[in-house]
Amino acid sequence: MSDDAAPPESLMPYEAWAEEALREVAIRAIERAAAEGLPGEHHFYLTFRTDHPGTSIPGHLKARYPQEITIVLQHQFEDLNVDRAAARFSVTLYFGGVPSRLVVPFGALTMFHDPHVRFGLRFPVTGADAPPPFEDVPEEETRPAEEDAPPAPPAAAQVVSLDAFRRKPAKES
């Protein structure tokens, strides 16, 4: 028998179980932040599909981010709740100083990252009506939400544009 032979198709859903277990890690972290706040310098980057069934965000955010958005939970946020029965979390964040309530099904999460400890997870979108995978989304629609918005109040959780951290070419004099 050759080692090059393809393994047999599994009749056990190992990949689904592993995915479920990893998603549970993110849910527990959000749940703990909801109950106790974020300890120390921990903060979360959460990327989710805005077009996933059950996702609820204000119209102005949906217009800017029709497929995906990244939010940051750091320092202060309001009314962070995890509803396991409904399989979703909700939070109020400030965009341009205006409070916005976001409701996110667990299945809409595509990424969880805690940069303080360099821990991150990526997820496929789940659900019967799941949109195309992350890789099919044009780059301009996957950027975080604060690109051109005025800064939020310093005490509020905010969405940060990753473009601010990219090198810009030097201008010639």
Q: Two tokens at 13?
A: 């859903």
Farthest-apart Cα atoms in the chain, separation: 68
Q: Label residues 66-76 b or e (16+ Cβ within 10 Å = b).
A: ebbbbbbbbeb
**φ and ψ of 32, to 5 deg:** -65, -40
* Segment holding 29, helix H or strand E: helix 14-36
pLDDT at 162 (0 to 100): 46
* pLDDT grade for 13, boundaries at 50, 70 and 90: very high
Residues 6 or more apart whose CB falls under 8 angstroms from that of 153 comprise 94, 97
Tell me how many degrees the CA angle 113-117-120 measures, rounded to the nearest 5: 25
pLDDT at 167 (0 to 100): 55
Task: Give the residue-averaged pLDDT of 30-47.
Answer: 95
* pLDDT grade for 172, boundaries at 50, 70 and 90: low
Task: Give the residue-averaged pLDDT of 51-68.
Answer: 95
pLDDT tens column, 82-138: 999 999 999 999 988 899 999 999 999 999 999 999 999 999 877 645 544 444 434
pLDDT tens column, 134-168: 444 344 444 454 443 333 333 444 444 444 545 55
Among residues 159, 164, 165, which one has the least CA distance to residue 70?
A: 159
3-state helix, strand, coil in the chain (%, to 5): 25, 25, 50
